[in-house]
Structure 1
């Protein structure tokens, strides 16, 4: 009996428009997948269509997060798409990106803890050097702190 080579399974389709947009970005960045897609691979074409269908079911924020542009995109749509792309490049989760784009608030203790963290981080010469030097992890942490601090504090009632 000869062994058959394993054919990699296509991952399950994402369940949300944001996840589908992330998957589309990953596929577009994969040269092997892109080459097969451009060559007309039926499975790649179907996956592309399926992912776009999921993205299309989302709201305007999901659409911006996907990077898809309507025929006449507004400046706010372009700004949201650019922000989502920048945050994704820093490794920030889509759930947090969506909260950032739709408005978010935190509790007063969360806000105060983040303020303390940022003050401590900016007082640490090693962190500042890494942050200013473009260290991705330092940039991601500072960006997350700034997202929290710009969102506002929830009303405690």
Structure 2
């Protein structure tokens, strides 16, 4: 085993110190709060480049040093940080995946979806139409990631026999 591997492995081994707790998935680190005289705690999920959560941390009894981390606090911090990540992922999913249902073609309900694939070099998007009753795909075309999906643009696409929008 190389030193780099040893270092990486040791960064994920469980650890319980007053200002640093780590389990198989998370690291909690008590740090000096840059904005005031207090302390903060940062929660980082292993493998992520930056903390998922940074928040104020309680002062100890001496009103100078931070309160030591403990099991219940670590568990609460893990739960809170995981919730922050989950909400961020939900928001990102909602931003990249839009859907509207329109009534067209003689009363038929059609769900039109826009799925954007973010990529720094080559972002893309797919516009698709599904029958709302049996979920069968009616059409699918590549569109610009800047395409704006609205009820009007969906109805226009359907009326144009699913021709690729400009």
| TM-score between both structures, scaled by the size of structure 1 | 0.24
More helix by share: 1
More strand by share: 2
Relative contact order, CA 8 A, sep 6+: which one is greater?
1
Tell which structure's C-alpha radius of gyration is larger.
2
| TM-score between both structures, scaled by the size of structure 2 | 0.23
